[in-house]
Amino acid sequence: MKRRKRIAILTGGGDCPGINAVIRAVAKKAINEKDWEVIGIEDGYHGVVNNRHRILKYDDVSGILTLGGTILGTSKIANPYRYAVKRGDRLEFQDLSRVAIQNIKKLEITCLVCIGGDGTLGIAYRLFKDGIPVIGVPKTIDNDLKGTDITFGFDSALSIATEGIDRIHTTAESHHRIMIVELMGHRAGWVALYSGVAGGGDIILIPEIPYDFNIIAEKLKERNRKGKRFSIVVVAEGAKPKGGDVVIQRIVRESSDPIRLGGIGFILGEQIEKVIGLETRTVIMGHLLRGGSPTPFDRILATRLGTKAVDMIEDKKFGYMVGVKGNTLVNVSLKEVAKGIKTVPLNHPMIKAARALGTCFGD
């Protein structure tokens, strides 16, 4: 008797709203329409190295559309090509890709669907070059993946960030304070730019436009002179002063991308109080942007991406990611995706629009 086709799903990197919606879409379509078997790999690439996985039945993926996080677990540090192993206090990195590849081959799958950002999909591309049929699905709140206009998770993060800015607005106004809202986004300013515009930030600082503190100070003083007794500063965690560098919050030694950003908001706050003498508070929204239920936009996008991934498996489009171009889903080579990150272009229409309204970018 012919064995049923089998696929596996892996979720890697930072979680975000909408991952479960993708898992559900891939698995339901695979089971319902194709009669394939679906395996869920546990905790990202840890699962392929340590052979941890489970069968996903229809009921396992039913009722998870609105659920935040990932039912499979994830990891921001597991990399089969540079796997961190602790030896007492020492950390060693081993190339366990052969083990991972053997483990994947033992599963006898037609395809490994990798749901992730640049790190996860970069590893997926290496696995593909090493003979594993993979398909990528673009996930990250940062929206910084090459080859796609948008990643799922971004819209949800944007909506949480905007709500945060709105709430900060009322308290800033009541207390006549400068309020700084620091937002995740890694080395790209998408989240800060979009939510800064949506939340009416007076100053928006993004990594792509290094800032001059004097310009920020002048803008704050000018608002004060004009009778605006409060100001909202939206700052991306990766923002940096001209000629200066990002603020590092911690180094995760086990990770292939060990730098975790954070804290620029506090530094700016102190500087503002010291130099201009205006009372200032800083709020770091941090991981709040990654939690909770996906927005309707992300649920729809996740469902489209997941079902398209199944079509791509049928068409043997291995080594590709489902990308979004305008309103169309396209196949993008993982080679293209693995080339680096997508930052905000300096001539982005959103920057132009915000500048036209008087928003200061610190330059």
**99 vs 259, which CB is nearer to ligand F6P?**
259
Interface with ligand F6P (CB under 6 A): 14, 76, 117, 140-142, 184-186, 237, 260-261, 290
> Looking at beta carbons, which residue is closest to ligand F6P?
184
Going across the sheet that includes 203-205, the strands are 203-205, 231-236, 178-183, 280-284
Least distance to ligand F6P, CB of residue 14, Å: 4
142 an active-site residue? yes
- Give the active site residue among 118, 142, 155, 298: 142
**8 vs 115, which CB is nearer to ligand F6P?**
115
Which H or E run contains 41? strand 37-41
Least distance to ligand F6P, CB of residue 254, Å: 10
**56 vs 191, which CB is nearer to ligand F6P?**
191
Q: Do the bridges between strand 248-251 and strand 259-261 make them parallel or antiparallel, or are there none, so unpaired?
A: antiparallel
Hey, which residues does 241 pair with through a beta bridge? 211
Q: How far apart are CA 289 and CA 176, in angstroms?
A: 26
SS (H, E, C) 179-231: EEEEECCCCCCHHHHHHHHHCCCCEEECCCCCECHHHHHHHHHHHHHCCCCCE
SS (H, E, C) 112-180: EEEEECHHHHHHHHHHHHCCCCEEEEEECCCCCECCCCCCECHHHHHHHHHHHHHHHHHHHHHHCCEEE
Least distance to ligand F6P, CB of residue 261, Å: 5
Least distance to ligand F6P, CB of residue 42, Å: 18
**142 vs 182, which CB is nearer to ligand F6P?**
142
**142 vs 155, which CB is nearer to ligand F6P?**
142
Hey, which residues does 94 pair with through a beta bridge? 83
Least distance to ligand F6P, CB of residue 35, Å: 36
Q: Which active-site residues does the annotation give?
A: 142
